[in-house]
Structure 1
Amino acid sequence: CNWKLYDSTLSDGTTFIIKTMGFKPTCSRPLTIKCANSTWIAKKLEHLLRADPWISYELMEETLAKEHNVVAGYKQLYRAKTKARSNVEGNYSPPIFKRIFICYEASRRGFAVGCTFIVLDGCHLKGSYGGVLLCVIAL
């Protein structure tokens, strides 16, 4: 785009005045906008996720390009979709309690008498909550 703008500085040194401007610019603005981060994209596309929670990334990308003239990559759209779904569906709340103890009467009596057969088992929990689930049984 080869357009020109001629200006001059006023006496205060900080203000400019435009004298002449050549022909109108014909170039479009750049498609990558720095302020278009995943949070901004999530706010703009939240209405789409309310209508269709399983919206495709291609449709998200197409909507951004049409409505906001913004091009975003797959990772940025993934983060935006995660944030928007979190806003729409809500976050997982932290657990109410950290541990629970359940004891059967027969196991308690056997342990008190001296039957010290103890079974310990554990597994790692995957997913939103994570952690380790331990189970101890005394027979």
Structure 2
Amino acid sequence: MNLEHERSMDQKIFWLNAAFLAERYAYELRADPDWSIKGFTSAVKRDFGMEPSEQQIYRARQKATKLNKEDFVDQFHKLHDYCEELKKGNPGSTILLKTEMDGKNKRFHRLYICLEACKRGFKEGWRPVIGMDGAFIKGPHPGQLLAAVGIDGKNRMFPIAYAVVEIENKDMWEWFIQNLIVDLGIENGQI
């Protein structure tokens, strides 16, 4: 009796197809959209011990890209619900979402979030110093993350507010800072 079983070529092809690979590696392709065919192939070989064809890899990349784009669109539609849940779960928080109409579709413009606990914590006990910075958001929908942080008694960062904007420019920074001034009750540079 032979206890070792080898899959036939048909069985390998049946489950190792472009749809399976797209679903399995969608996250990796989202993180690195320029992932080479050689790198993708070696990952499949490492994980499953089989080498897919270049055509399978090409189709899998196309399907994964489509899956990732659909996921971003789906997440955008949930953004209003997310803001409402934040307001419900954090009374007194400031959440401002601005979208613009692009034909018949809504298009994201900017989002500002300052949670009540962060506002109160900064006002009641942290050093009156605010640091601000911007960072790139990469991916199919690039943008900028603007953040304001305070410093606690042990010189650790304390988040105050953040915003996601399409582009970092003077107008966006003014909008962010004006909202922060209102939230913290800053008058003439004093809290």
Greater RCO (CA < 8 Å, at least 6 residues apart): 1
TM-score (norm. length: structure 1) = 0.43
The structure richer in helix per residue is 2
Structure with the greater alpha carbon radius of gyration: 1
The structure richer in strand per residue is 2
TM-score (norm. length: structure 2) = 0.32
